[in-house]
């Protein structure tokens, strides 16, 4: 295994700086929301976590196409890495959203179209890990992973558009939503800057973590190959 690339070390540093700046902006730069109060600050990282979730699922679908076309196992590592990171961040988005909902709507959970489709999306990707574990042959596992990443990606746009096509109480941040939304607020310029900065920061965090996770995936592949060689 080669030593850590210099570019990755630089990216780690940039990521930490951006993250600390984003935290500072959320707590000290963005103003207090007039109705919801402090809990509104959860919104910045809640949306950023959901964004990383959707971004990674999209990367995995693209990696799936690349694997099916080229048959190179490196794309399987990319797909698995992207799904693992996104699964974690999407889970965080669901839990932090639930906490926001308790403070804003007065309930931890409601079977609203956005919450329901997000939960289904997360469960679909949870199944990806379980099903992968059941396949021993690496090539079959990679082929299955590619097809599954492609098919499961259907749940991502469905989750995104659910608040735009169904009547829902979940606020719509980008674009216009239904009249039934509860917890909507007009973003002041400082709120918008914090929101956009958080989205950019979390995109960089995703890229950094993806690089680390791909390196881990390559290590795991090397270990698996050596183990098979030792057993022969």
Partner 1 sequence: MINTLLLQAPAETTRYLVAGYTVIFGIMSLYIISLVVRTRNLKRQLVMLRELDQERK
Classified as helix, coil or strand, 185 is coil
**Whether the Cβ atoms of residue 99 and residue 42 lie closer than 8 Å to each other:** yes
**Which of 85, 115, 121, 163 is close enough to bind partner 1 by CB under 8 A?**
85
Q: How many helices (H) and strands (E) does the chain have?
A: 7, 0
Considering the rule CB under 8 A, would residue 104 count as an interface residue with partner 1? Answer: yes
Q: Give dist(CA 226, CA 232) in Å, integer.
A: 10
**Nearer of residues 131 and 226 to partner 1, judged by Cβ:** 226
Considering the rule CB under 8 A, would residue 37 count as an interface residue with partner 1? Answer: yes
**Nearer of residues 4 and 167 to partner 1, judged by Cβ:** 4
Q: Give dist(CA 45, CA 199) in Å, integer.
A: 8
Residue 93: partners with Cβ closer than 8 Å, 6 or more residues away = 46, 47, 49, 50, 53, 118
**Nearer of residues 68 and 181 to partner 1, judged by Cβ:** 181
**Nearer of residues 164 and 212 to partner 1, judged by Cβ:** 212
**Which of 114, 141, 170, 213 is close enough to bind partner 1 by CB under 8 A?**
213
Q: Which two tokens stand for residue 232?
A: 């022969």
**Which of 18, 25, 41, 59 is close enough to bind partner 1 by CB under 8 A?**
41
Q: Give dist(CA 180, CA 224) in Å, integer.
A: 53
* Residues between 17 and 36 that touch partner 1 (CB under 8 A): 32-36
Q: Give dist(CA 93, CA 149) in Å, integer.
A: 20
Sites of contact with partner 1 (CB under 8 A): 1, 32-42, 45-46, 49, 85, 88, 91-92, 95-96, 99-100, 102-104, 209, 212-213, 215-216, 219-220, 222-223, 226-227, 229-230
């Amino acid at each position: 295994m080669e030593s850590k690339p210099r570019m990755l070390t630089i990216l780690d540093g940039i990521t930490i700086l951006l993250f600390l700046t984003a935290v500072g902006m959320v707590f000290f730069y963005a103003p207090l929301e007039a109705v919801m109060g402090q809990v509104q600050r959860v919104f910045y990282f809640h949306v950023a976590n959901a964004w990383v979730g959707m971004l990674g699922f999209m990367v995995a679908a693209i990696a799936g196409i690349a694997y099916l076309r080229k048959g190179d196992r490196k794309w399987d590592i990319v797909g698995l890495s992207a799904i693992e990171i996104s699964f974690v961040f999407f889970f965080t988005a669901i839990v932090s959203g639930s906490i926001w909902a308790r403070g804003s709507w007065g309930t931890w959970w409601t079977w609203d179209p956005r919450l329901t489709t997000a939960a289904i999306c997360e469960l679909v990707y949870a199944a990806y890990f379980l099903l992968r574990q059941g396949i021993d042959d690496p090539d079959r596992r990679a082929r299955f992973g590619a097809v599954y990443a492609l098919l499961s990606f259907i749940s991502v746009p469905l989750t995104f558009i659910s608040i735009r096509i169904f009547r829902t109480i979940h606020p719509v941040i980008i674009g216009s939503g239904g009249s039934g939304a509860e917890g909507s607020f007009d973003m002041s310029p400082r709120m918008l800057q914090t929101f956009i900065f958080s989205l950019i920061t979390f995109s960089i965090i995703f890229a950094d973590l993806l690089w680390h996770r791909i390196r881990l995936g390559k290590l795991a592949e090397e270990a698996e190959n050596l183990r098979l060689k030792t057993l022969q």
